[in-house]
Amino acid sequence: MHSILKTSLAALVAAGVTASSAAADAHGLSGELNIISDMSNPAPRAVMEGLAADFDALHPNLEVNLTIVDREAWKTQIRNALGANPPDVVNWYAANRMRPYVDAGLFADISDLWAEPEFEALASTKGAMTLDGAQWGVPYTYYQWGVYYRKDIFDQYGLSEPTNWEEEMANCQTLLDNGVKCYTIGTKFLWTAGGWFDYINSRTNGYDFHMALARGEVEWTDDRVRQTFANWRQLIDMGAFIDDHQTYSWQEALPFMVNGEAAAYLMGNFAVAAMRDGGLTDDQLDFYQFPVINPDVDFAEDAPTDTFHIASGAQNMDAAKEFLRYVTSAEVQTAINAGDALGQLPVNANASIDADKFLEQGFDMLSNNAGGGIMQFFDRDFDAEMASVGMEGLQEFMVFPDNLDDILMRLEETRQRIYN
């Protein structure tokens, strides 16, 4: 294996100035550290191989053994892998996606790590790593969601970035009065509607309520859920979304924004490259945080988070914990999330990011202004079957909002069957 981490990081490590390396030398790590990773795509694989090689080089008496498996295959293999003869460290996902392995006793409680002063720099992600009052892993990368919009169109009609629902609605009406749709969206594959529900529900009822709903603890027919849909329907009824969005994928909906037929897109930062490829310049394109609906609740941001966990049956717990300290340190976070590596956001607030205005805005938002917590997105936070049925209902609501009662009854019946 060869290191892909930046020269600057290699120099820091060689000089022994990283906190993790200094602590590790004091611990005198030895034996083997066995890691199974699902970072199988080319760029993530190179990052993972570099992490393993560099950590191995830091600890001469430790042998790091890395196994990389296909990302999709890992979703069905992880439970068996954590059973008999488990590795020390594995990749997975945050929040409720951890629940099956926490409940089965397969992930180790690492709350002691999160109590260390260095982990205060990861504070914005702590909620996503917490179940039952304990922490069960660490994040290593995430990316922001938010509203990407045509600044030139906003400027043309004298609009400013909205900070609350009233301003959002007023902006939208101005756009519609001038023949421009407020939002493009493609719901052909359902998940994009989940993003809208995440934001409107967390802005209406708060992060804790949203996560309680995701855990199956709240009825879908609850009046608070109905208020979320009532707020969403305000946009639907005024014609805020492009027509026939159920026939488009998210990529197929991009031309409406590129051509100026729609002014904005609620989407993840991965869409920026496609917007730029479509011909939009950074002078035309900008970003704002989804506006506040209810100022009395702690809202949340969608920021899907990839994670490392220690198996409860780990054979080298000391080395596993030191690897988690290492991978979340500011220097390593800067290196692995750079544009020539993962190209996403570091989870350590003391890390540095590439000079890209959307990464800079997302990093500031998630590090300093993420409200009540980080959501993992509808199809990660909710049980898989609940998410599937739920997203079908969300898309149906966007097309046929009068079907709401029937939709909520179906979702509630599904909730009761899954959770009861």
Contact call for residues 90 and 35 (beta carbons, < 8 A) = yes
Mean pLDDT (the chain, rounded): 92
| Percentage with pLDDT > 70 across the chain | 93
Using CA atoms, how far apart are residues 67 and 47, in angstroms rounded to an integer? 13
Structure confidence at residue 27 (pLDDT): 54
Express each pLDDT in 379-389 by its tens digit: 989 988 999 99
Q: For residue 340, what pLDDT band results from cuts at 50, 70 and 90?
A: confident
Residue 197, CB half-sphere, CA atoms under 13 Å: how many? 32
Q: Where are the alpha helices (DSSP H) in 82-190?
A: 99-103, 111-114, 151-156, 165-177
Using CA atoms, how far apart are residues 214 and 216, in angstroms rounded to an integer? 5
Q: For residue 252, what pLDDT band results from cuts at 50, 70 and 90?
A: very high
- Please compute Rg for the chain using Cα positions: 22
What kind and span of H or E run contains 399? helix 384-399
Structure confidence at residue 339 (pLDDT): 85
Tell me the DSSP string of 341-397: TT-SB-SSTT----S-HHHHHHHHHHHH--TTEEE--HHHHS-HHHHHHHHHHHHHH
Instruction: Give the mean model confidence (pLDDT) for residues 149-170.
Output: 98
Do 145-302+375-419 and 7-143+304-351 have the same topology in CATH? Answer: yes
Structure confidence at residue 100 (pLDDT): 92
Structure confidence at residue 233 (pLDDT): 98
Express each pLDDT in 184-200 by its tens digit: 999 999 999 999 999 99
Structure confidence at residue 132 (pLDDT): 93
| Bridging pattern class, strands 31-37 and 373-375 | unpaired
Tokens of 106: 């397969």
20 pLDDT exceeds 80?
A: no
Using CA atoms, how far apart are residues 67 and 71, in angstroms rounded to an integer? 12
Domain covering 145-302+375-419 in this structure, CATH number: 3.40.190.10
Instruction: Specify the amino acid at residue 363.
Output: F
Express each pLDDT in 286-302 by its tens digit: 999 999 999 999 989 99
Structure confidence at residue 17 (pLDDT): 36
Kindly list the domain boundaries of the chain, sorted by start residue: 7-143+304-351, 145-302+375-419
Per DSSP, 107 falls in state: B
Least confident piece of the model among 11-25, 264-278, 314-328, 402-416: 11-25
The CATH superfamily of 7-143+304-351 is: Periplasmic binding protein-like II (3.40.190.10)
21 pLDDT exceeds 70?
A: no
Tokens of 232: 């969403």
Structure confidence at residue 5 (pLDDT): 52
Instruction: Give the mean model confidence (pLDDT) for residues 389-398.
Output: 98
Instruction: Give the mean model confidence (pLDDT) for residues 195-218.
Output: 96
Give the pTM. 0.86
Q: Which residues are within 8 A (CB) of 45 and not within 5 positions of it... i.e. 6 or more apart?
A: 39, 68
Q: For residue 373, what pLDDT band results from cuts at 50, 70 and 90?
A: confident
Q: For residue 138, what pLDDT band results from cuts at 50, 70 and 90?
A: very high
Residues facing 262 on adjacent strands: 181
Using CA atoms, how far apart are residues 143 and 35, in angstroms rounded to an integer? 24
Using CA atoms, how far apart are residues 371 and 416, in angstroms rounded to an integer? 30
Structure confidence at residue 57 (pLDDT): 97
